Amino acid sequence: MADEKVPIDVDKLLKNKLKSVSIGDLESSIADAVSKLVGEDYKCSIDDIKYTLFSGADFHVKIELTYNPHS
């Protein structure tokens, strides 16, 4: 049973659902995750997005500490 091959759903691979995700949503989600990990407020910006054929994406992520003088 370990040698059974699972068929690949080519249509699923070619439909890149990442294209439908808002860049702003990605930026805020990444910033929230980093902020929780580090314990300080961070912001994120995403540039140079290139969607790949097989449901992926390459992009540049910039993470910066948010300056808050009241912290």
Domain ranges of the chain: 18-65
- Read off the pLDDT of residues 7-41 as tens digits, 9 standing for 90 and up: 887 777 778 888 889 999 999 999 999 999 999 99
Give residue 50's pLDDT. Answer: 93
Give residue 52's pLDDT. Answer: 86
Give residue 14's pLDDT. Answer: 75
Report percent pLDDT > 90 for the chain. 55
Amino acid at 66: T
Strand partners, 43: 64
Amino acid at 63: I
At residue 58, the 3 state secondary structure works out as strand
Cβ contact 45:30 at 8 Å? no
pTM of the model: 0.73
Average pLDDT, the chain: 87
- Other CB atoms within 10 A of residue 66 CB: 11
DSSP H helices, 1-71, are 10-14, 23-38
